[in-house]
A = this chain, B = another copy of it.
């Protein structure tokens, strides 16, 4: 794939991301995306076989970006207090800075998990949730996370934070989550 080609593809992906995040999958037409990206509609079909696949690629990229910011920096510490605290801080930073992706996830995550047609998107999102769950499980093994915390429930709790408006409230929720999750030796 040449430079120009991947540039165009990127332009389409970016336009689709913005459109889907603002209006949702069903609220956006290929024409609309083409207009935003400033390309002809048929060109979109040169790069993507269908609207569904385009959405899935946008989704997977978005989760990649989120996951990278949350788990990417190779953590030196094995201290799960620090690990989980850092994780939540990074998550909240992401939610307040990367608005388009956050809004996209908030809007479509239910559909991604329910809908059978978006298999790749679903698999990618479940994999991401699985990493959070794994972190909680490890935290329990290391005696940092409360024994009464069910990892699956804790994961749902953490993921639901993406619907919280305003940074001030997010900070409160962060504190609440830390209190609920971690054993309280300071």
Residues on A lying within 8 angstroms of B by beta carbon are 23-27, 106-107, 110-111, 153, 156-157, 160, 163-166, 168-169, 172-173, 176, 180
Check if B172 sits within 8 Å of A153, measured CB to CB: no
Whether A157 touches B176, Cβ cut-off 8 Å, given contacts A26-B24, A26-B26, A163-B163, is no
Check if B169 sits within 8 Å of A160, measured CB to CB: yes
> Besides the contacts A160-B163, A173-B176, what 16 more A-B pairs have beta carbons closer than 8 Å?
A24-B24, A26-B27, A27-B111, A106-B163, A107-B110, A153-B166, A153-B168, A153-B169, A156-B165, A157-B165, A157-B166, A157-B169, A160-B169, A163-B164, A172-B176, A172-B180
Check if A164 sits within 8 Å of B160, measured CB to CB: yes
> With A and B bound together, what is the CA distance between A176 and B26 in angstroms?
36
CB distance from A100 to the nearest CB of B (A): 14
CB distance from A91 to the nearest CB of B (A): 15
> With A and B bound together, what is the CA distance between A131 and B23 in angstroms?
28
Q: Which residue of B lies closest to A164 (CB)?
A: B160
**Copies, count:** 2
Secondary structure of the A contact surface, majority rule: helix
> With A and B bound together, what is the CA distance between A157 and B25 in angstroms?
27
> With A and B bound together, what is the CA distance between A163 and B164 in angstroms?
8
Chain B residues with CB under 8 Å of A180's CB are 172
Chain B residues with CB under 8 Å of A163's CB are 106, 160, 163-164
Q: Which residue of B lies closest to A28 (CB)?
A: B26
With beta carbons under 8 angstroms apart, the residue of B107, B153, B176 that contacts A176 is: B176
Chain B residues with CB under 8 Å of A156's CB are 165-166, 169
7 inter-chain pairs at a CB distance below 8 angstroms, sorted by A residue, are A24-B24, A26-B27, A27-B111, A157-B169, A160-B163, A160-B165, A176-B176
CB distance from A120 to the nearest CB of B (A): 20
